[in-house]
Amino acid sequence: MSSIRVTSCFATIILLTMGNPTLCLSDIFDGLEVSYQTQWGNAQIGNFKIKIEKNKNKIKFVSESHSEGVISLFLDYKSNIVGTSVKNDKNWYPNSYIVNSNYNNKRYYSKIRWDKNRNKFDKKIEPPIDLKKVYDIPPSTLENVIDPITALMRVLDKVNHHQSCDKVLNIFDGRRRYNLETKSLGEEFLINDRPNSFTGQTLVCGVKIKPIGGHRLESKWEPETDKFSDIKIFFGVTNASTYLPVRMVLDRWFGRIIVRMLKS
């Protein structure tokens, strides 16, 4: 279960994307559809698709993921994420974030909607957070938070205009509160190690996550020992001018997970 939950969390992270700085990011993403394949060790364990739509200064992100292969024999998993963000005064702000997931026929639903001033939000969670299994989320940490999609769009702006992904973001996804830190790690040439995967020069971004609340009480995860090299996202040019995340490598106590973009 750990590998599938991690894959679900990073389905949003893989959206971190670079484009031509002379273009508007929302224009670049309008109508974009990308597919990714997830591997754990030597086994293929899941797929997810990302679709993005633009409406004036608002962007809508839709991600669908599911388990497959041998892992589906003991863990059936499906998830749908829909998020909308609004750009105002050259910055991205949260509007709504909805997650609808199913683990072995048990449904998990969360919805967050921010007010017009983007200072407060309403949330709906089904079932409620079980404090016998996860850490409580201190109310004071829910001020000035953004959803994962808005966080990613802010990183995109930083990368496109400053050629850097160095940033710290305060994120709340409805069930978990965490800080996400991204850091530029240089360049690396990727070799096509699977059919339909990417070959070429890439820019590498490292990721660290600091849990605040909502994470499991019983876990082997020791975030204080994490390194930026433990989670790496590789951005490669997939057309004449636009960088997209073409691979992600996640090294954890349970093994290595690799997420690869599939060529259309």
Instruction: Look up the domain containing 106 and give its range.
Output: 2-261
Burial of 153 from C-beta contacts in 10 A (0-12 / 13-18 / 19+): buried
Chunked mean pLDDT (size 10), the chain, 264 residues: 47 44 51 84 82 84 83 78 91 95 92 88 95 96 94 80 85 96 94 89 91 94 93 81 82 90 80
Q: What is the pLDDT of residue 34?
A: 84
As for how many domains the chain has, the answer is 1
DSSP 263: P
Q: What is the pLDDT of residue 141?
A: 96
Q: What is the pLDDT of residue 70?
A: 67
Task: Round to whole Å and give the CA distance between 213 and 171.
Answer: 11
